[in-house]
Each structure stands twice: as structure tokens, then as C-alpha cells.
Chain A
Amino acid sequence: MKLKANRRNFLKAGLGGTAAAAAIGAPYFFVPNRARANFQYGDKDNHLIILNLDGGARTVPMFNAGMSGRYNPYGEHASAAAWSVGGVFNNMARDFGGAIGAIPSITDIATDMCVSVTMDHTPDSASGEGSHTVARNWIASGYDAGGPGIMSQIMRLHAYYGSEVAEFGSFPPVVIGGGDATTPFARPAGDSEPLKTTSFSEFASQSGDGAEGEQQPDWARAFEAGLDNHMRNTHSASDRTTMSRLALGKDAVEHFRNVFTDPALKVAAEPTAEKHGYTNAQLAQIFGTSTFGRNAALASRFLFEGSTAIVIGDNGWDTHSNEMNAFTSSAQRLEEVLCGFNYLLKNQPHPAGGTYWDRTIICTISEFGRDNLMGSGYNSGGGSDHTGTPAMRNQAWFMMGGAVAGGTQLGATNPDDVSVVPGASVYSTQNYLATWLAWLDIDFAEVFPGAAPIEDFFA
């Protein structure tokens, strides 16, 4: 007789509903402005750029490089910052002359960056979270069971997508990237959903509904909207939500037609196209021509159109084997983008005053760090894994921007095993995400009751 485990004993627990309910539907106890009043840096004209390193990036050798060779086989670069800059970085300033001039190196900008070396999804648990799926839930929604993505929450709760309109646009939040870890940032919150695009190349062939004269006339829009409304009205509340997203998408296409059909959005295909003072060729110098760099160029286009928050995903960080080449390449790609944003935002005036640098934080996030390492710094396959040890769970994440406490390090870890130094602060992922919301002047308690923004990041 065939051995078969008792299938009746494996009924799965109903997961997923808890966080979703907490995020969009749970009872909400309104406390007037308390959540925001305690955080002095928030402003609705602020912006947020999140660099998501898909796969679980080995952040220690990049941003907490003072660990032993087992945990950082790449060495360090000397800098004026309190945090230790990884030797894996190229650390070369790039001087293009002409209008662009010099782009700073990673050690040049180290004093603009604040790094927490003890970021942990589950600070109170016995071991870290090594499952990609659960870790992606943490970073994208702030909950282990998942739920609406943080970018959809921003779309749902930010003043400029609700009752107010920014003078410079109210362009929606954007998620750029197709990785498994990036797409959950766009999981809808009700009918709220950010603009989501796999990569810069998707805009190369877009023309909306055509040039002047070919576009859909008003009567046709009314006809189509009427059909769409009819479908919504004859379906359940749940189905209506999905249909509403399509209708809102159509509205956004109409509203931002000039943005989407602007050649400047074709960041690779139209090098001479210019907007906001930069040609696409210049953006290619600033960010490089990797996919990550091109996506950063596209993100800067959306940022200057008024988008409050943008996620840029970068693939290739799940380095279980042959890590040495892949990781170095990934780290230096990230370095190019970081230095590019540092340069660009400092030089770009903001419509509300000052520069974009003053009003933007650029930060990183990833599923987890890496462990299962031998004395060589790698596992038996020349890579690294994610099994739940301190080296994996204590990630080194930075924030960069004019408001950030540049050059400082938050938390401290032991060089021998990357465990938290007794007495040092540990920072939770949920509080990290709450910081994003607070920075954008969103009442974070509506999404994360009980959370507290990490003010230590700020000057």
C-alpha cells in the first residue's frame, strides 16, 4: 500500500488576511496628528526613492565593512564617515567635463549617508527570516503575512493623491522593476495602485492613444467610461475594486498623457531628448547605462514630474554561488546609481524651494543579508546563503539626503559573527517603513499602529 501522509492533517492556516486587514480595513482609532507631530521631518512636498536589491543582498561588505574576513572578504575604503565603506566598491569619481562635470565617488558621499547596521525584520525572534516569500512581505508591506504594498499605501494615504493637489503635479508613486521582491511593493490597497513598470524599455514603444487628431474624443471616453461603470455596478465589491483600478489607470493615462508621450521618457532610445535641464545622454552619464542606471534615469524623470515615492528594483543579489564576480558587479552598479542621485538631486531646484536633495531621502532595502559562510568568506559553492544567523538578519541599510544625519552609523555589530553588540540599538523593518510614511507626512499609524519612525536617521 502506498505510503501517504494524512492529508487531512495538513490543512493550512488561513494566512494573509491579518495583515491585509490591518493595512486597509482594520478598525482604526484616530489620534489627531499624534503620529506625525512627533516626527518633525515630515512634509507632503518630500520625496522618497527606495532602491530594492532583489534576492537578499550581502549588505555587510558594502555598508558595514568592518567585519571579519569571513563576513567581508572585500576589504574597506577609508572615509570620513563613521560607518565603514566597503572595499567592494570601485570608489572612483567620474569626471565627464562639460555641463555635467564630476560625479563624486562613494567615499565622497559617505558623509551624506547614515547607515544602520542592525536592521532586522524580527528583532524579538530567536532567528532571522530566511524565506524569500516572508521576507518580501516584510519589506514590501511591513507585515510577515503580506498585504498591500507600501507604495499603494502611499497612493492611498498621501495628501496629494487625495484631497490636495501639488502645484507641481501629483504624479503617482512608481514601482520600477519586475523582480519577485520588487513587485509586491505595488500590491494594491483597495483601488489604489502605483504606476508599475518592469523597466525603462517599456516606454520606448508607448504612444498612448495616438497623436493629436487620433486621440479618443470626449464622447468615446464617455461611452467607454459608461461601459466600465456599468460593469462595476453589476459586480461585487471585491470585483469592483479590480475594475476600478483599470478605470483609474485610464484616467491617469489621460491626465498625464503629456508625460507618457514625451520623448524624454524614452531614456535609452532618445538620447537627445531633454527635460528638466538634462538630456537622456546626460542622465546616462550620471547613472550609467546598466539596466539599474537606466531605471534610475527613468525614476528621476518621474521624480521631477512630482512623484512622491519611487521604488527601483535591481535583480541579481541572490548570490548562492559564484558570488565574487556577480556581487562586485552588482555593488558597483549600485554605487554608480547612488553617486548619480547624490549629484543630480543636489543640482536640481525643487518647485517648493531649495533643491530635491533637501526634500528627498534615498534608501535601500532587501529581503535579508547573507550567511552560511566559511573562513574564505564564501560557502562551498563560492557564494553565500540565508539561513537565519546574525550575519543574515542584521542588514546594513542606508538613508541619504539633505535631512539625513550624514556620516553616522546606527547600531553596532561584533566583527566575528555580525551579532548585535550588547546594548546597541536594533531597528525593525516595520519602523523603517513607518519612517518612509512619516517623511511623506502620512499618518503612519494608520498602516502600522504602534510603530515609531526612526528619527536617529535624521540630522
Chain B
Amino acid sequence: MTNKAIRFSIAFAMVVGASACGNDSAGADGTDTDALPTGDTSNPDDDDDADTDADASSGGDESGDETGGDTDDPPITDCDVATFDNVIDEAMCPHVQGEGVQPEPADQVEICRRLYIDLLGISPTAVDYEVDCKDRSVDEIVDDFMARPEYVLMSQRMWADVFHMNSELTYHAYIADLDAMVGQVYAPNPADQITLDTFALEAVTHPAFLGRWDGLDLIGFNFLSHFGRDASGAERLDIFPLFRMWEEREFTDPVQGATHRVVLNTNNCVNSALCSSDYWQAGDQVVIPQPSPGAEDPELNVIDVDLLTPEQWDAVRLPGQRIANSGEFYEAYIDRTLDRYLGYDLGTAVPAARQALVDLLEANNGNARVVDREILTALVYTATNSYDEDDKPDPSDWDPNYWHGPTKQMGAEVWLRSTQRLVGQVPGSCDHRYPEVMGTHPHSYPTTDGMTPDYAFRDTARLLGGCPDRESSFRETRAGLIAALTQATLTRDLCLAATEDSPIFPQQFIEDPNDEDEASLSAAANQIYAAALIRPIPETAADALHAGVDGCRDDSTCNPAQFAEHTCRLVIKSSDFLFY
């Protein structure tokens, strides 16, 4: 077999950085991409981390040595002279086009599904495609979707997983507040936005965080949340003094019932050395009000977080300052976001791509939306994921993921919501903030009586790894046996529940219930498939279609109605639908 990607020789600048339908240089938020060193044609050795790319910046072995000379300077490559609208495209050039690979852009249906699922959390129907994607550029679609509340919600869900939000363990109002802060990071309106730095500054000592973890785990989970790695035992001990003033007190909330409030116990810092650490900077010390001399009441000088003054907050947010200012924080954020949209660790595979986004984030003062938009309009995201590669038993021989567009599997909630909508049901949801509603605190679950949460969707999603409780189960995308078992169980009920108003109602595609003609069955199968995937079964999958149609016609118990129902069931659990 040959590689579908086109070998190139020269002059690829016209396609590099241009997404399927064009690319604008300015972000929809008015963010400054022009301020970045895009199109830098300087010598790669001028770059601080050029050594990380040295092995891959040859610029394509088929383009020859364009310098034509025999100096000691590295040859000028096509990637060096090209201009780029996207910093990732620029960083990836030596690793993609420079390796002789030219990924093909995804077609409009493929990119529409990818953006719909990633940004809006549901697979598009044919109607969605017509309204939101057809005849629009990738940039237009991205800007439209990033302006919608669903995009903010998907981002909030990601951070709810990161922070292990759970009101069984934490006061619900704290969680709601932290979740709202996350919403501000991704808010479409610049006036409502906060920067990543501000977010980290506050999140590190936010009561939703302080109330979720105890003791040394406060440091461990802070590292996991903000640096993407656990703290070592020594790091936990070294940093703990900066957190030792935080405690909890039992509290009965009118709607939640028994819970805990976070307090600052100044008595824990009566000796200033107890709240000092040299881990980040020599002499770091959290300066907080000192306890009154001779205090006998153990609660004296214990301050509820709601009563802390802005000045006191400034003092106790020292760990947040240090984390927000750490180089690791931006890198971890970039890695998390790359994984969110690409499904693999591009930052480790190509550190220059991570660094380009770190630089972009710095140039835009910590605006997280800029990073999202840059990834979503980069060729590494907008390229087709169709790719022809021979079977190779050794993974180290596999072509890198970034030589084609990303392939991901729908998450549990996305798949469930998408299939529910296809069969005419109102897509369910779970409240990403609260795996379980405690008492009668506010929530966004569907209700049966206006208040009592209906957990049916949540419980079903959990069978597929979604809506995790964040105590004993965590979000995962299941692909093995248990996922297949669950989907087999669910698709039967879903397709049986479809009504004539459903986009995928199987029987609507049967014109004559007695017509087992090959053409009629094929047409029905294609229409059912297209209801879920926008277009009919690909020509290249004709063998599969024939196996189904011919098999039904050879089966004396199969009739067109059964054919349609079973086709509905198999399509919505097929790889075609699940992977995007």
C-alpha cells in the first residue's frame, strides 16, 4: 500500500497554515496573532530550543540543498522560507511537510462532525450540517461555535473533571463559584473573560479546592490540576507550610444539609516559620493576621473564607501566584488542550508545537480562547483522519499521529446525547458540577417534579465511562468489551423507541414493506446511515453494504422492516459513528 499523503518537493507555502476553507489571521476575539513571530525566516539556530527540533528540520529530503553552497550553516529549508498564519503549522512544518508529508484537508462533513462534537458536545444531523457548516470556512465555523454556550459548557466539564468536583465532599456553593470562574476563562465576550493567570491565582486556594482535599493531598492535586503531574513526597512536604492555615468546619446549609465550610486558622501560623517555604522562592511566607496573645477560645482568629478581606486574600494566595507564574503551568495547560482536541500528546511528540502555543499564550496575556482557536484552525486538527498505512506490529514503526487529522472516539455523554436526538428523544445530560445532588441544592439535572434530579441519563452514561462520580470512577472513553455490551443493550432500545418524527426512524425509509429488492434495501440502508452520518455509506465500504443486503435477502426471517431496524442499531454503534 502507499501512503495517501502526498509527497511534496517544493513550494508548499500556499497550503501550509491554510485550513480547508481559508484562514483569517485575526482571532474572533480581536486577539493579537500578528504580534507573534509567525513566518520567522531567521536561522533556526537563533531559536532557544532549536536543538529540540534539530533532527526534524531538514525541510524535506527531496527538496535538496537549496543553499547550494558548502558552508557550515544549516541549509535553508522550505519550512524556513514559508509563511504561516498559524503558529502550530509553523512549528509542525519540519515534522510534517519537512518529512515529505502533505496531509489532505478534511472535507466539509468530516470537519463539521469534528467541530460539532468537540465544541458543542453532540454529533450533527443533516439539518445541523446544512445550517451550521455547509458553505462556511473552518474559521467561520470555529468562531461561531466558540461563541456558543455549549463550548463554554464543554470547557467547564473538562475542568470539573480536573478539579474532581463533587458536592458530597464539598460545599455546593464553592463548586458553583469555581465553575463560574472556569466559565469566565472561556467566555465569548471579552468583557466577561479572565486570564488563565487570574484563574490559577484564585483556583489554587479556592475553597472548592481546599474543601475537596486534605493535608498533603492539597499539594498533590494542585500539581495534578495545574502542572499535569503529581507532586513527589518531598515536594508535598516542602510546600505544605503554604497551605497549613486552611481547615474546615462542619456546617449545615439550608439546602445542602450537612457539609463543611473552609476557614483560615491563623493560629496555625502563630510561628511564621510554620507557614514559610523555600520551594519556589527563598523565604516565601504567607503573611496572615496573627492570633491574639493569650487567646483561649480555639476558634478565635479562625476566619471563614467569606469574611477574608481582599488584602488578606492577596496574602494567602501566594501559592497561586507561584503556580501561575511557573513555566510548568502554561505548558501543562497547552498539553491538556492539545490532548482535548487532538486526542494525543503532541506537546511531548513535538515540543516546538507546545512552545509555540506557550509563546502565543504569553503574547495574548493568558487568553485561553486564543490557544483553542489556534489548535482548531491548525492543519494538524483540520486535516482528514483518513490515512493509508500498512500494518506494522511494532508501534515504534507507526507513522506519527500528526501526519493526519485526529481520530477520536465519542465520549459517553456525546454518544448518548447524539443517539437520543437521532431517535427523537430530548438529549439527556448530567450536571458536570455535581455527580450527586445533596439535599436540595441547585442543579441542572432534568427533574421529574421540578426539583428531584432524574439520574437516568447519568446512570446510563456511567456504563460507558461518562458522568463520573469522581470518587470511585473517573471519566474514560471505553472501547472494549464492556462498551460493546452496553451499546448492544442500548441501541436495541433506542432504535425501537424511534418515532416517525425521528431523524433516523428506520421504517420511514421502507417504501414498500414487501420489497426485498436489492436496490430498495440498499437505499434504505444508505438513508439510515446518512441520517446519522450526514452522507451515505462510502463507496469504499460497498462490500459491507452488500454483506448486509444480500444476507438479509438470503435470510428467510428477514423482512425490510427488520432490516431497517437492525441497520439503525448497527449504524449507531459502528466505528463510523463512534469515531470522528
Point out residues on A near B: beta carbons under 8 Å. Answer: 2-12, 14-17, 20-21, 24-26, 127-134, 172, 177-180, 183, 190, 193-199, 202, 205-210, 214, 216-220, 222-232, 234-243, 245-250, 252-253, 260, 291, 315, 318, 320-321, 372, 379, 381, 383, 385-388, 392
Cβ of A231 and Cβ of B579 under 8 Å apart?
yes
Chain A contacts for B231, CB-based, 8 A: 131
Contact A195 B482 (CB under 8 A): yes
Report A-chain residues with C-beta under 8 Å of the C-beta of B358.
7-8
Asked whether any CB of chain A lies closer than 8 Å to the CB of B128, the reply is: no
| Given A227-B576, A246-B479, CB of A234 within 8 Å of CB of B488 | no
19 more contacts with CB within 8 A, not counting A223-B547, A253-B485, A386-B216, are: A9-B327, A127-B233, A197-B482, A208-B488, A216-B566, A216-B570, A222-B551, A227-B537, A227-B544, A230-B543, A231-B574, A235-B407, A235-B579, A238-B395, A238-B401, A248-B480, A249-B482, A379-B215, A387-B233
Q: What residues on A are CB-neighbors of B483 within 8 Å? A: 246, 249
User: How far apart are the CA atoms of A320 and B325 in the complex, in Å?
Assistant: 29
Name 25 interchain pairs, CB-CB below 8 A, sorted by A. Answer: A8-B48, A20-B395, A25-B394, A129-B232, A131-B220, A131-B233, A208-B485, A217-B558, A220-B566, A220-B570, A223-B525, A223-B566, A226-B544, A232-B575, A234-B388, A236-B389, A236-B398, A236-B407, A237-B389, A249-B485, A250-B488, A321-B214, A385-B233, A385-B237, A392-B233
Q: Which residues of B contact A128 (CB under 8 A)?
A: 233
B217 cross-chain contacts in A, Cβ below 8 A? 318, 320
Instruction: Judge whether B61 is part of the interface by a CB distance below 8 angstroms.
Output: no
A residues in contact with B407, CB < 8 Å: 235-236, 239, 242
The distance from the CB of A30 to the nearest CB of chain B, in whole angstroms, is: 14
Instruction: State in angstroms the CA–CA spacing of A377 and B576 once bound together.
Output: 57
Whether A252 lies near B481 (C-beta < 8 A) is yes
B275 to chain A, nearest CB (A): 14
Residue numbers in B under 8 Å from A241 (CB-CB): 395
- In the complex the two chains form, is A202's CB within 8 Å of B463's CB? yes
Whether the pair B473, A198 counts as a contact (CB closer than 8 A) is yes
The answer to whether B540 and A230 have CB atoms under 8 Å apart is yes
Flag if B479 contacts A209 (CB, 8 Å): no
Answer whether A223 and B548 are a contact pair too, CB < 8 Å, given A11-B331, A15-B348, A235-B387. yes
Residue in A closest to B550 when the chains form the complex, CB atoms: A219
Query: Is B392 among interface residues, defined by CB-CB distance under 8 A?
Result: yes
Q: Which listed residue (A183, A220, A291) contacts B569, Cβ 8 A?
A: A220
In angstroms, how far is the closest chain A Cβ from the Cβ of B359? Answer: 8
The interface bits of chain B over 545-580 (1 if a CB of A lies within 8 angstroms of the residue's CB, else 0) are 101101110110110001000110111011110110
Quick check: A387 and B547 within 8 Å, CB to CB? no
Does B230 make an interface contact (CB < 8 A)?
yes
Assess whether A217 is in contact with B566, with CB atoms less than 8 Å apart: yes
In the complex, residue of chain A having the shortest beta-carbon distance to the beta carbon of B407:
A239
Bound state CA distance, A386 and B538, in angstroms? 55
B579 to chain A, nearest CB (A): 6
Contact of B386 among A11, A222, A235 (CB under 8 A): A235
The interface residues of chain A lying within 8 Å CB-to-CB of B468 are: 178
Count of A-B residue pairs with CB < 8 Å: 299
Closest to B229 in A: A133
Specify the chain A residue showing the minimal Cβ separation from B459: A205
B390 at the interface (CB under 8 A from A): yes
- Asked if B489 is an interface residue, CB under 8 A from chain A, the answer is yes
| Contact A131 B540, CB 8 Å, known A6-B327, A12-B351, A16-B348 | no
Residues of A within 8 A of B392 (CB): 237
Q: Which 3 A-B pairs have the closest CB atoms?
A: A130-B233, A219-B551, A226-B544
Q: How far does the alpha carbon of A219 sit from the alpha carbon of B474 in the complex, in Å? A: 37
B230 touches A134 (CB 8 A): yes
Please, which residues of chain B bring their CB within 8 A of the CB of A216? 488, 566, 569-570
A178/B234 in contact, CB under 8 A? no
Complex CA–CA separation, A84 to B580 (angstroms): 56
> Across the interface, do A193 and B236 meet the contact criterion of CB distance under 8 Å?
no
| Of the residues A132, A194, A236, contact of B387 by C-beta under 8 Å | A236
Q: Which residues of A contact B391 (CB under 8 A)?
A: 237, 240
Task: Give bound CA distance, A224 to B551, whole Å.
Answer: 12
CA distance A242 to B580 in the complex (A): 12
A228: B residues at CB distance < 8 A: 574-576
- Asked if B236 and A130 sit within 8 Å, CB to CB, the answer is yes
Q: Does B24 contact A (CB under 8 A)?
A: no
Q: Which of B231, B388, B480 has the most chain A CB atoms inside 10 A of its CB?
A: B480
CB pair B331 A220 closer than 8 Å? no
B-chain residues with CB within 8 Å of residue A131 when the two chains form the complex? 220, 229-233
Q: In the complex, are the beta carbons of A320 and B215 less than 8 A apart?
A: yes
Pick the contact of B480 from A8, A9, A196 — CB < 8 Å? A196
A209–B233 CB distance below 8 A: no
- CB neighbours of B441 from chain A (8 A): none
- CB B246 to nearest CB in A, in angstroms, measures 12
How many whole Å from B33's CB to the nearest CB in chain A? 18
Residue of chain A at shortest CB distance from B404: A236
Whether the pair B471, A14 counts as a contact (CB closer than 8 A) is no
Give the CA-CA distance A218 to B552 in the complex, in Å.
9
Residue of A whose beta carbon sits closest to that of B547: A222
B355 within 8 A of A: yes
**B472 A198 Cβ-Cβ under 8 A:** yes
CB pair A179–B472 under 8 Å, yes or no, is yes
Q: A172-B481, A252-B484 are in contact. Are A25 and B395 (CB under 8 A)?
A: yes
Residues on A with beta carbons closer than 8 Å to the beta carbon of B489 = 205-209
Residue of B nearest to A291 (CB): B472
Please give, as numbers and ranges, the residues of chain B lying within 8 Å of A231 by CB-CB distance.
Answer: 574-576, 579
A248 to B214, CA, bound (A): 42
> Which residues of A have CB within 8 Å of B550?
219
- Look across to chain B and name the residue whose beta carbon is closest to the beta carbon of A221: B570
Residues of chain B within 8 A (CB-CB) of A320 are 214-217
Docked pose: A248 CA to B480 CA in angstroms: 7
Q: How far is the CB of A392 from chain B (nearest CB, A)?
A: 7
Is B476 among interface residues, defined by CB-CB distance under 8 A?
A: yes
